[in-house]
Amino acid sequence: MTAAAVAVGRRTWLCDLDGTLVDSCPAHEAAFRQAIAEFAPGALATFRYAEHTGASTAEVAARLVPGDAVTAERLTRRKQRLYHEYVEAGMVALLPGARRLLDRLTEDGRTAYLVTSGSRGSVERVLAACSLGGCFRDVLTSDDVPVSKPDPWFYAYACRRWSVDPAEAVAVEDSAHGVASAVGAGLVTLQVHATEPAAGAIAVPGLDDIVSLLRQEQR
């Protein structure tokens, strides 16, 4: 039996959102670029969104303008407002297999939680826009914790908050930052949509592949 097959046998699932379940990266990048152009134009030429996926907006802003908390706060707020507009304009959609995976977890009586570095306002908008509001027992966002992925404390806090034993749960992530946080907290971690898996992750091509493994596990 493969490591992925063993992982899907677990009953508690902690899922990331951006880049894992929804295709939000283009909207996030566009919002960042516009906000940077307005508040920190000197950082625009070297900005690469892929280097920051999985981190919170506030953390990325702090990296872009180190030592300038006022500008970082303005950049953060502007980026979040722009992203909200993009979500409402329909620029964020479910990734292939996302609905099938979440429905399958529900059908099998498994428990799914959402663990995301997005702000609560952004996350709530995406869940509403993509009709995912009732898919998770609870949601943890960057507004609920003082750190962001890749810090293992992010997932460790999620497990403590929900009385989840990391040894009996599985995380689903897409980014290296997310994997580092989940693996560091002791979670078996499935990484989807990645050309090369991050250290400690179990690579799975896509969400439908996880669904297939769940079906096999039930046989």
> Which residues, 6 or more positions from 86, have their beta carbon under 8 angstroms from its beta carbon?
27, 30, 31, 92
> Global pTM?
0.90
- What local confidence, expressed as pLDDT, does residue 218 receive? 64
What letter does residue 198 receive in the DSSP assignment?
P
| Nearest residue to 76 via CA among 40, 22, 50, 51 | 40
pLDDT of 119 above 60: yes
- What local confidence, expressed as pLDDT, does residue 149 receive? 92
Contact between 111 and 139 (Cβ < 8 Å): no
3-24+93-217 in CATH: which number?
Answer: 3.40.50.1000
* 215 token code pair: 């079906």
- What local confidence, expressed as pLDDT, does residue 186 receive? 97
- What local confidence, expressed as pLDDT, does residue 69 receive? 97
Domain boundaries, the chain: 3-24+93-217, 25-88
pLDDT of 1 above 60: no
Query: Which of residues 7 and 155 earns the better pLDDT score?
Result: 155
Mean pLDDT of 138-147: 94
- What local confidence, expressed as pLDDT, does residue 216 receive? 86
Rounded to the nearest integer, the mean pLDDT of the chain is: 94
Contact between 69 and 104 (Cβ < 8 Å): no
CA angle 107, 109, 111 (to 5 degrees): 115
Q: What percentage of the chain reaches a pLDDT higher than 90?
A: 87
Q: How confident is the model at residue 55 (pLDDT cuts 50, 70, 90)?
A: confident
